[in-house]
Chain A
Amino acid sequence: MSKINWKLWISVLLVVLSLWTLWPSISWFMMSEDLRKQAEQSKDPILSKILKLGLDLKGGTHLLLEVDTDTSKLEENVKVKDAVDRATEIIRNRIDQFGVAEPMIAKQGDKWIVIQLPGIKDPKAAKDLIGKTALLEFRIVNKSQEAGKALDLLTSKGIKPAQFREDPSKYPEIEVALPEDSSIFEGKGSDGYYVLDKALLTGAALTNAKVEFGGQFGRPVVVIEFSKEGGRIFADITEKNREKNLAIVLDGIVQSAPVIRTRIPDGKAVIEGSFNAEDARLLATVLRTGALPAPVRVIEERTIGPSLGDDSIKKGFMSSLIGVIVVFAFMVVYYRTSGIIADIALALNLMVLMAVMAYFQFTLTLPGVAGIALTLAMAVDANVLILERIREELATGKTTRVAVDAGYQKVFWTIFDANFTTLIAAVFLFQFGTGPIKGFAVTLSIGLIISMFTAITVTKLIYEFLFKENFLLKIKI
Chain B
Amino acid sequence: MQFFKSTNIDFIGNRHKFFVVSILFFVITIVAFIYRQEPNYGIDFTGGIMMQVSFENKLDDLQDVRKAIEEAQVTSFELQTSENLVVIRAKKSLQSQEEFDKSISQSIQNRFPDNPMKIERIEYVGPSVGQYLSKQALYAFFFAFLGMIVYVAFRFKSSLWGIVSVLGIIHDVIISFGFVILVNKEVNITVVAALLTVAGYSINDTIVLFDRIKENLRFGSKEIFANIINKSINEVLVRTIVTSLTVFIVASSLFFFGGEVIHTFAYIMVIGTVLGVYSTIFLCTPLVYEWEVRRSNRLKMAIKQGAVNSKKK
Contact = CB atoms under 8 A, between A and B. Distances in A.
Interface stretch (A39-47, A234-242, A280-288, A374-382): A374-382
A326 B1 CA distance: 16
A326 B200 contact: no
Interface stretch (A139-147, A148-156, A262-270, A431-439): A431-439
Contact of B204 (A298, A381, A434): A381
A305 B148 CA distance: 39
Contacts of B2: 334, 391
Contact of A428 (B120, B124, B196): B196
Contacts of B4: none
Interface in A366-390: 366-367, 370, 373-374, 376-378, 380-381, 384-385, 388
B249 A326 contact: yes
A433 B204 contact: no
Given A330-B246, A388-B242, A417-B155, A367 B193 contact: yes
A378 B262 contact: no
Shortest 5 CB-CB contacts between residues of A and residues of B: A425-B200, A315-B259, A323-B253, A299-B126, A323-B250
A330 B245 contact: yes
A308 B53 CA distance: 10
Interface residues of A, number: 75
Interface string A421-456: 111111111011110110011001000000000000
B115 interface: no
B interface, over-half SS: helix
A301 B193 contact: no
A318 B152 CA distance: 37
B204 A419 contact: yes
Contact of B121 (A299, A305, A330, A388): A305
B238 interface: yes
A254 interface: no
B261 interface: yes
10 contacts: A66-B126, A322-B257, A323-B250, A377-B251, A378-B201, A381-B243, A414-B211, A424-B148, A432-B192, A437-B192
A330 B190 CA distance: 29
Interface in B145-198: 147-148, 151-152, 155, 189-190, 192-193, 196-197
From A66, A308, A331, A424, residue with most partner B Cβ within 10 Å: A424
A384 B243 contact: yes
Interface string A19-59: 00000000000000000000000000000000000001000
A190 to B, nearest CB: 21
A316 B200 CA distance: 22
A425 B144 contact: yes
Interface of A: 56, 64, 66, 123, 127, 298-305, 307-308, 311-312, 314-316, 318-320, 322-324, 326-327, 330-331, 333-336, 366-367, 370, 373-374, 376-378, 380-381, 384-385, 388, 391-392, 395, 410, 413-414, 417-429, 431-434, 436-437, 440-441, 444
A322 B238 CA distance: 24
B121 to A, nearest CB: 5
A419 to B, nearest CB: 7
A268 to B, nearest CB: 35
A421 B129 contact: no
Contact of B140 (A322, A327, A374, A432): A432
Given A299-B129, A334-B242, A429 B120 contact: no
Given A302-B122, A312-B261, A323 B200 contact: no
A366 B201 contact: no
Contacts of A378: 201, 204, 243, 247
Contacts of B6: 395
Given A66-B128, A422-B200, A428-B140, A334 B1 contact: yes
Nearest to A437: B193
Given A374-B269, A381-B208, A432-B193, 6 more contacts: A301-B124, A308-B121, A320-B258, A323-B250, A370-B262, A417-B155
B125 interface: yes
B250 A327 contact: yes
B301 interface: no
A133 B97 CA distance: 18
Interface residues of B, number: 72
A150 to B, nearest CB: 30
A305 B200 contact: no
A417 B249 contact: no
Contacts of A391: 2
B256 interface: yes
Interface of B: 1-2, 6, 52, 54, 97-98, 118-126, 128-129, 133, 136-137, 139-141, 143-144, 147-148, 151-152, 155, 189-190, 192-193, 196-197, 199-201, 203-205, 207-208, 211-212, 215, 235-236, 238-239, 242-243, 245-247, 249-254, 256-259, 261-262, 265-266, 269
Contacts of A327: 246, 249-250
Contacts of B247: 374, 377-378
Contacts of A441: 193
A378 B119 CA distance: 38
From A302, A418, A440, residue with most partner B Cβ within 10 Å: A418
Nearest to B235: A392
A123 B235 CA distance: 58
A319 B265 contact: no
B97 to A, nearest CB: 7
A5 B250 CA distance: 36
Given A66-B128, A305-B120, A444-B197, A319 B253 contact: yes
A141 to B, nearest CB: 32
B193 A429 contact: yes
Contacts of A301: 97, 122-124
Contacts of A314: 259
A436 B123 CA distance: 13
Given A300-B124, A330-B249, A385-B208, A428 B203 contact: no
Contacts of A414: 207-208, 211-212
A425 B261 contact: no
A316 to B, nearest CB: 6
B220 to A, nearest CB: 14
Given A305-B119, A307-B120, A64 B189 contact: no
A316 B247 CA distance: 16
B191 to A, nearest CB: 11
Contacts of A308: 52, 120-121
Given A298-B97, A378-B201, A56 B261 contact: yes
Nearest to A62: B123
B144 A312 contact: no
From A123, A395, A427, A432, residue with most partner B Cβ within 10 Å: A432
Nearest to A313: B259
A319 B193 CA distance: 19
B251 A422 contact: no
Given A422-B201, A433-B189, A433-B193, A333 B140 contact: no
